[in-house]
Chain A
Amino acid sequence: MTRLRIAAYSAAGCGGCDIALLDIHEHIIELVAAADIVFWPAATDFKYFDVEQMPDGSIDACFFNGAIRTEENRHVAELLRRKSKLLVAFGACSAMGGVPGLGNFYGTEAILERAYTTESTDTLGGRPEQSADSPVPALTSRVSRLSDVVPVDLEIPGCPPEAHQVWAVCQALIAGTVTPGGIAGAGTRSVCEECSRAKRGVRVSKFVRSHEIVPEPDWCLLEQGIVCMGPATRSGCGARCTSVAMPCRGCYGPAGDSIDHGAAMAAALGSVIDSDDEATIRSIVADIVDPAGTFYCFSLPSSLVDRARRTEVGR
């Protein structure tokens, strides 16, 4: 049996996805028994050069994490797409834009401006330029998910993906049972289905922020008024945040067929608010601080909001 050839790469991410891959711990030994890791910059010394020399399509599976934030990220995405049979958007940044995607609220100019005008900055020596001959690669006009720049075969959601889910996908790869298309390493329902906190059917008349109360143990956080993205978020993580009394922030992406996390969350909220009167509902919802930043914390570049704006301003 021919050995699998596997690659992993990090673009504009945080490295947590690389750690998630390492966190299959002892299973790494089983993985390298069945597969050659032909490129994984975080852990090995294999180089772009090696990748460029490979025939197109010769990597069986490439786990690509991180969003597209610079022209360099885009270039590597295109290279790895050419070389890989199965290109996997690994983790929230790659699949949806992730936390760096929040930059799309402000735009590239504003991001650069702030980075070099903080209280401690001294620009007497100049600052990086966004020109073709600059020593630093230019930032792209907006943050994109991987599938905005190249075709993607599979997504593994999560920030980062849970190790047991990563290992399950690796096992499927080794067994040759991965079907391209769609989402792997996640459930099909919502985080609420995995959460051990009980719903009591209580409706919310006032929202609170997570630091404002110590929630009762074992009781649904949303019913206690803490904005929890659980009902609008795909299962698969094991509801870890709520297990320590912290609300879900939606890193596994929207549940079900929804393509817009904010829309999914708005629908979920509608069913827990304790009023049928529109004005009252509006005033209860007004307690939610920063709904856009919260609902799209991990998915702004893939949201309908961002896509609409992009269409408006052109690319």
Chain B
Amino acid sequence: MKKISIDPITRLEGHGRIDMYLDDAGNVEQAYLIIPELRGFEKFLEGRPVEELPLITQRICGVCPEAHHAAAAKAADAVYGVEIPLAAELARRLQYNAFMAGDHATHFFALGGPDFIVGPDAPAADRNIVGVMREVGSDLAAQVIRMRKEAHEVAELIGGRRIHPVSMVPGGISQPVSAQTQARLKEIAQFMVEFTHAAQGVFARSLGKHPEFREMVMSEEYTSRTNYLALVNEQGQPDAYDGRIRIVNPDGAELLTYHPSEYLDHFAERSEPWSYLKFPYLKSIGWHGTSDAVAASLIRTGPLGSLNAATGMQTPLAQEEFEKVYAARKGQPIHQTLLYHWARLVEMLQCAEIVQRIANDERLIDPDIRTIPGKAVGEGVGCVEAPRGLLTHHYKTDEDGIVQSVNMIVGTTYNYPAIQASVEKAAKSLVRPGAQLTEPLMNRIEMAFRAYDPCFGCATHAMAGTGPLEVRAYGPDGTVVDRIRRDHEGTIHHLDREEVEGR
């Protein structure tokens, strides 16, 4: 059997490799998305005081530190059984939504955007943020930079630091938001709403400009009829900071709703010998593997999951965008994987509007920001919707709040079975007998995972870098018969067997 690898995959957060096994005719029989990294947070957090976990766990991911910071703080609140004061909750929510909006902007323009703003088949050297900026023009490019900068400024204003902010503590936040800070937050919020609203058209314009991308979006190869998961408020609208979990089936009918602390009743994670990352599945459906043939047993989270499993959006401008697409669908979910990019824009807009709503709330600067905890209850679950999907932190402690055990399931992990199915489906349709293994073709396989904005750093509580794209062809006996590399200009190099063995 012949084996082809894409090693490692690029323009994502974290590290991964795709291995494809071909039958004698040259069809892909099986494709695996392998995650080769593990840092072991769940072990070394044992023995740490629980109030340190909002600080330490965000080192799982410097791209989405606030997600871990907030989930950890909420789990620690629960460990102590404390309700936090309103001003603290408002500050956390504001900071969290600003982070979500900024993170979505980063993915849309810097990581995912090159594939559809510059184009799926554009030269590799242009498929990056520089190419995107050239394409969207200097005005919008400057605004993208400003959006990232001001999202980080919010983290700094409330959390002290732009990356790895520190202000969420068990029982609330570390210090009140000042009136002066609030004034600046209002300005930032105004810009965020303007920017995220103006950005809504970028995806549609890409569809118009790149018919080959539009074709990919609507194609069966990039479609998976799965279940969808969202963290929602009481009205069933997405709420990134808090709520209940709602899951709908591929027809949009509700499968179940549960409180985040009940996650063990509903989810288990399957481990496999070929990847460090585990595969969550819904216990009521059971484990059926990860191929698209069993899509109806898979769950998807992240922006598309949020919108599909929601009844609508919380805020007016985001609701308008939501209705443009869902009004005609009568509750039917969107199954086109590449529309994650569109859903990300809508979620980004809602987050910006929430930032503005809270920034203008006078209760934000109330000085009562802490409930001082007593003895620990001993167990707590904290859950947020991270940019890449549902994030769960579960801690057990002794009565002094010293951590005894930790379990975490992150958004990319929840999505891993579906990402695996999407990659396999794309690989099977693109790598055919006689098909030329070109660089753009390989990139199209990578687009199947990139839509999810995966963070394999978060997922494995590890973050390795990314590297070259290398395709290896193996003979029936497992020896390397060909090695194909693409360089930064997109040129494909065939390296002979001796060179492969000589490494």
Contact = CB atoms under 8 A, between A and B. Distances in A.
B10 A45 contact: yes
Interface in A3-38: 9-20, 22-23, 25-26, 32
A43 interface: yes
A127 interface: yes
A45 B272 contact: no
Contacts of A106: 40, 43-44, 46
Interface string A235-257: 00000110111100100000000
Contacts of A124: 270, 287
Contact of A123 (B76, B110, B128, B271): B271
Interface string B453-489: 0010100001111111110000000000000011110
A15 B273 contact: no
Given A160-B164, A213-B372, A44 B59 contact: no
B14 interface: yes
A25 B486 CA distance: 30
Contacts of B19: 135
Interface stretch (A81-89, A178-186, A198-206, A289-297): A289-297
B43 A120 contact: no
Nearest to A300: B44
Given A11-B464, A159-B59, A135 B274 contact: yes
B402 interface: yes
A214 B407 contact: no
B325 to A, nearest CB: 31
Interface stretch (A46-54, A261-269, A273-281, A302-310): A46-54
Interface in A150-165: 159-160, 163
A56 to B, nearest CB: 16
A57 interface: no
A88 to B, nearest CB: 15
Nearest to A163: B162
A42 B8 CA distance: 12
Nearest to A136: B36
Contact of A210 (B32, B51, B263, B278): B51
Interface residues of A, number: 89
A118 interface: yes
B316 interface: no
B252 interface: no
A289 to B, nearest CB: 5
Contact of A211 (B47, B164, B373): B373
B59 A289 contact: no
Q: How large is the interface on B (under 10, 10 to 19, 20 to 34, 35 or more residues)?
A: 35 or more
B272 A105 contact: no
Given A49-B468, A50-B487, A121 B59 contact: no
A125 interface: yes
Given A122-B270, A125-B273, A111 B409 contact: no
Interface in B411-466: 455, 457, 462-466
Contacts of A244: 158-160, 166-167, 174-175
Given A22-B148, A103-B43, A112-B40, A246 B167 contact: yes
Nearest to A249: B55
A39 to B, nearest CB: 9
B267 interface: yes
Contact of A105 (B47, B170, B369, B464): B47
Contact of B370 (A11, A44, A214, A297): A214
A112 B38 contact: yes
A194 to B, nearest CB: 13
A289 B63 contact: no
Nearest to B273: A126
B36 to A, nearest CB: 5
A72 interface: yes
Interface in B273-298: 273-276, 278, 280, 287
B70 interface: no
Nearest to B110: A43
Given A120-B269, A121-B271, A136-B34, A43 B129 contact: yes
Given A72-B36, A106-B40, A135-B34, 7 more contacts: A45-B11, A47-B467, A72-B464, A112-B40, A120-B407, A160-B163, A243-B160
5 contacts: A10-B463, A45-B127, A72-B464, A103-B39, A125-B271
Closest 10 CB pairs of A and B: A16-B62, A47-B468, A111-B40, A244-B160, A48-B468, A41-B466, A99-B59, A10-B465, A126-B273, A114-B43
Interface of B: 10-11, 13-14, 19, 32, 34-40, 42-44, 46-49, 51-52, 55-56, 58-63, 65, 76, 80, 110, 124-125, 127-130, 145, 148-149, 152, 156, 158-164, 166-167, 169-171, 174-175, 263-264, 267-276, 278, 280, 287, 369-370, 372-373, 394, 400-402, 405, 407, 409, 455, 457, 462-470, 485-488, 493
Interface of A: 9-20, 22-23, 25-26, 32, 41-53, 66, 69-70, 72-73, 76, 98-100, 102-103, 105-106, 110-116, 118-129, 134-137, 139, 159-160, 163, 209-214, 217, 240-241, 243-246, 249, 289-290, 293-294, 297
